[in-house]
Structure 1
């Protein structure tokens, strides 16, 4: 099934929706919707008899039960917010349907945008037996979309697309792991419209100024065969501080026979659970989609009333650790919940946290973090024992390889220094060939191990890392430590360490009198982002 939505988070930092209720869809766009709706429809129609066909495929339970959009509470798609921990938390508190985050990656930037078809088509579906999840993994080994059996019958996958064939290919990729597909037709931001997605699917929106034109638009969309339409009650140029147009949503709901999902009430209407039903009645909609109010406190879906924020945040953190959510995303979502309390003692602890462990410690969950990570490691070891042939040793012959049990901790190094940089500079100073890194990925848990070769000697850590870049840094540490060389850590500024980086001793009367080049000065490149969320000045090193 396809749900065509006119709502999408419109900003990288502010989780709010913008819609274009007065816009026209051209023949090409309607053809896209019709083709997608026909291709993506699950075997049973919306709200039809609940005939369930279950089978096991790739570790997940498949369920061909169609998703019903009548009288539902829905977690809206939100940039950087709607990851797996937030979706599961919303379901725990009473949400009926949850949307995945609108996520993508701008070139050379951290900004999270919508999941576009081109990005998803590069992904590979991977069953993560350690976490009991299904991951869609990009070529750079980033998890673009992660889901689990607990949400399978209630998660909607939203994407941006401008091509029916690409959209269909994405649907085929995710159809066994989600309950519905949503096509974004509302985002007015350049990153969507420039690619022909979002509001660009609505041709000539500026020419449509009357409510009658909007009603004509939604009727035309309905005829394509979509299951439901989500409407955000604001115009293209309006933002969250502007009043939501309940009367427009109500007019649309009264015009269509398919479910209409009302969105945009967080600012004016939704402060507690009872307000959700009041907003639904004010708009005449079938269901209500909640964005910012749920981002601030997901227990807004709870009939018994809002839970204390600290309790909600601790529950969110538990999910984040259990499903290995990246700490930067966890930190971002927690900051949205704290809001005006960011300057409190706990807010300052959160702001200073540079790992999932530090986040847990800031909220009194240090023991939970330790126990949970130990359980995850134990499952990983158990799986490795069952599938030794899939381990994938990092070298054909490990004899003669110098090994240490070490890992790279970004916090232990200055922003401009990494072990790989230090090793490269040492090789240049000693007139050795540049380090050669060979990295393999272990299929069972998708961890990485790297071997670095210097002057025909190999060095390797016995501990595996979450990314190729981290594994290479770890291998460099093994080499540096085995040679007694400084690796650039904080606190290595002692004279003895400095002398190790100085040029060979010169005759007092010799011609060379230049100052030694400190680590990190041989190359000045713009900062890029490592897989651990930190910045490195040397991309690809």
Structure 2
């Protein structure tokens, strides 16, 4: 599939996730098979663009093409300015956030709160598409709540505004991440518009990805929470879609090697103090399916240096790879 001039191959995309899809994680997921990785959302408030956090989020040096940057806000002019700013600083695709259900985002009338105001949606999309020469994409939910499931209407507005591709999470804002994603609305949206559609929500395995693509007719799948601690999911889905065969799950040694590389990238990107802190959530996700998880997290979370954190992690996965019980020290 194409977004403007960019071919998205394989059609398996890393969803934007605040606090997760930073540069080290995007690069890792791309190496492990993602055809596109969208950045965590960046604010449209120019007063925040020079903060350390924003500078980290807008760093795309050395990142493989295409570079997709998500912007968030509620004011059409501010979002247009943010789109221009990010395009001038390396963004090759601008993505607009109208899907985030977080309370603090919706209380600021951003994210999925915008779905309540279709006229404002149209003004925002017109302003952003008109502001930049790069393709503009949009991420939405199926509606604000189940009584106001207006995703189809918003999709038509998006197509008319010149949006290059649309990602749809199969829940309303009111659903948050509860229950199961529903795909009938995504199928209806895909049938009604001609632009590419990404199907998003509860896609956590190769066979689920294949089912969702068949059911919705979508052009690609977008993976969010299922990639946390399992970035190799992109390679597995891409292989299954291309061949019909399942790749074996990576063994403990392979997982350990992937994680240690991820840790090194975090330390290099953020510096030791922030890198160690940010790594803790990833360590928990990598180990979440193992019986020793609680003890592992308790010990590693007490590590206050990169050397200690990395050594504990290496020892843990080396023991697992050797088939021995992972003996965790009482203190880091």
Change (3 A) 1:352 1:98: same
Change (3 A) 1:100 1:142: closer
Q: Does 1:157 align with 2:69?
A: yes
Q: What residue number does 1:264 align with?
A: 201
Over residues 98-121 of structure 1, what are the superposed CA-to-partner deviations in whole Å (9 max), with x where a residue is unaligned?
01124xxxxxxxxxxxx3211x55
Provide the C-alpha distance between the structure 2 equivalents of 1:320 and 1:352, rounded to a whole number of angstroms.
17
Contact map agreement 1:69 1:259 (CA 8 A) in 2: no
Over residues 314-363 of structure 1, what are the superposed CA-to-partner deviations in whole Å (9 max), with x where a residue is unaligned?
23113223323522111122212222546455433312212322211212
Q: Does 1:316 align with 2:262?
A: yes
| SS of residue matched to 1:245 | coil
Change (3 A) 1:354 1:347: same
Contact map agreement 2:32 2:234 (CA 8 A) in 1: yes
Q: Does 1:293 align with 2:226?
A: yes
Provide the C-alpha distance between the structure 2 equivalents of 1:207 and 1:354, rounded to a whole number of angstroms.
43
Q: TM-score, normalised by structure 2?
A: 0.72
Provide the C-alpha distance between the structure 1 equivalents of 2:187 and 2:162, rounded to a whole number of angstroms.
21
Change (3 A) 1:315 1:277: farther
Q: Does 1:203 align with 2:116?
A: yes
Q: Which runs of 5+ in 1 are unaligned?
A: 1-45, 49-65, 103-114, 125-137, 366-541
Q: What residue number does 2:151 align with?
A: 214
Change (3 A) 1:259 1:305: farther
Over residues 136-163 of structure 1, what are the superposed CA-to-partner deviations in whole Å (9 max), with x where a residue is unaligned?
xx1x687441534442523311121111
Q: Which runs of 5+ in 2 are unaligned?
A: 118-142, 240-246, 316-332
Q: What residue number does 1:514 align with?
A: none
Provide the C-alpha distance between the structure 2 equivalents of 1:70 and 1:231, rounded to a whole number of angstroms.
19
Q: What residue number does 2:175 align with?
A: 238
Q: TM-score, normalised by structure 1?
A: 0.46
Contact map agreement 1:80 1:333 (CA 8 A) in 2: no
Q: What residue number does 2:103 align with?
A: 190
Q: What residue number does 2:49 align with?
A: 123
- Higher Cα radius of gyration: 1
Provide the C-alpha distance between the structure 2 equivalents of 1:173 and 1:279, rounded to a whole number of angstroms.
35
Contact map agreement 1:300 1:306 (CA 8 A) in 2: no
Q: What residue number does 1:441 align with?
A: none
Provide the C-alpha distance between the structure 1 equivalents of 2:86 and 2:71, rounded to a whole number of angstroms.
11
Contact map agreement 2:144 2:173 (CA 8 A) in 1: no
Change (3 A) 1:143 1:254: same
Q: What residue number does 1:307 align with?
A: 250
Count of residue pairs the alignment pairs up: 271
| SS of residue matched to 2:65 | coil
- Provide the aligned C-alpha RMSD in A: 2.7
Q: What residue number does 1:80 align with?
A: 19
